[in-house]
Amino acid sequence: MGNRNLTALGTIWIKECTRFLRIWIQTLVPPAITMSLYFVIFGSLIGSRIGQMDGFSYMEFIVPGLIMMSVITNSYANVSSSFFSAKFQRNIEELLVAPVPSWIIVLGFVGGGVARAILIGIIVTLVSLFFVDIQIHNFAVIIVTLILTSSLFATAGLINAVYAKTFDDISMVPTFVLTPLTYLGGVFYSLSLLPEFWQMVSKANPIVYMVNGFRYGFLGISDVNYLVSLGLLVGFNLVMFTIAYQLINRGVGIRS
């Protein structure tokens, strides 16, 4: 990567980070409050009645899933809203007239989404420390899963924004696709509690692999092999990045 591209990438990334930090009340505070409520209601109040899940207290069991849930929704929302706003206000043209390669544009926006997701991950983890002592089984798996998951959903958010024509279009996928898949992705329960048929169906949900890979990093338990999770994440990332690159390069939704 030449110096020019590196400078352009750094500029887009700083601009993206500055954006979500400037509006921190909208971007950083809500996940902290929402997750605190989850910890209080599902962890402390209901969780104490549920008992143990796969050998861990219910609170310990749901913490990795809840962190992952925040990471997924925030990485997606960051890029979809930022890129769509840039299209809407037409300041995407600042990038289009400059000699910035399409892959740098994709990397810059996705990098911004990953940065917000990591920051949210840290905030939610810190909040969870008020409720439970967190143990770490494999720190490298946690970090790799966190980065790959956030980059995957940030890229998906970018693709959504490329096609979006109204603000409604960028809220449809999170509402009708991401939220159901996340809630059914093993955040609140172990797949082993489901009948065999529904276990098979659940394994078609990609978020199951992300939640379980992440849980493996914390607790050392998983409904699926964590290497399969990481492999799928790498594969999904490559596919989504290629799609996003092609869309930006062809100017879909951004060039006449």
Partner 1 sequence: MKALDISGLTKTYKGGTQALKGIDLHVNEGDFFALLGPNGAGKSTTIGVISSLVNKSSGTVNVFGHSVDDDLVAAKSCIGLVPQEFNFNQFETLHQIVVNQAGYYGVPRNIAKKRAEKYLKQLDLWEKRNEPARELSGGMKRRLMIARALMHEPKMLILDEPTAGVDIEIRRSMWTFLKEINQQGITIILTTHYLEEAEMLCRNIAIIDKGIIVENTSMKALLSKLNMETFVLDLPVQSKQPSLTGFVFRNIDDHTLEVDVEKDIGLNDVFRQLTEQGVTVLSMRNKANRLEELFVRMVESGRKKQAGAA
What does the binding site for partner 1 look like in residue numbers (CB under 8 A)? 2-5, 7-8, 10-12, 14-15, 18, 22, 85-86, 89-91, 93-100, 251, 255-256
Q: Is the dihedral of CA 243, 181, 44, 135 positive or negative?
A: negative
Q: Which is nearer to partner 1, 12 or 211 (CB)?
A: 12
Q: In sequence order, what DSSP letters do the residues of 102-148 get, joined into one string?
A: HHHHHHHHHHHHHHHHHHHHHHHHHHHTTT-----S-HHHHHHHHHH
| Least distance in angstroms from the C-beta of 31 to partner 1 | 22
Nearest to 63 by CA among 27, 98, 39, 34: 39
Q: Which is nearer to partner 1, 135 or 249 (CB)?
A: 249
- Residue type for 199, please? Q
Q: Which is nearer to partner 1, 18 or 175 (CB)?
A: 18
Q: Are 174 and 81 in contact (CB under 8 A)?
A: no
| Least distance in angstroms from the C-beta of 94 to partner 1 | 6
φ, ψ of residue 226 in degrees (nearest 5): -65, -25
| Least distance in angstroms from the C-beta of 96 to partner 1 | 6
Q: Which is nearer to partner 1, 74 or 82 (CB)?
A: 82
| Least distance in angstroms from the C-beta of 18 to partner 1 | 7
Q: Which is nearer to partner 1, 11 or 179 (CB)?
A: 11
- Residue type for 70, please? S
| Least distance in angstroms from the C-beta of 147 to partner 1 | 24
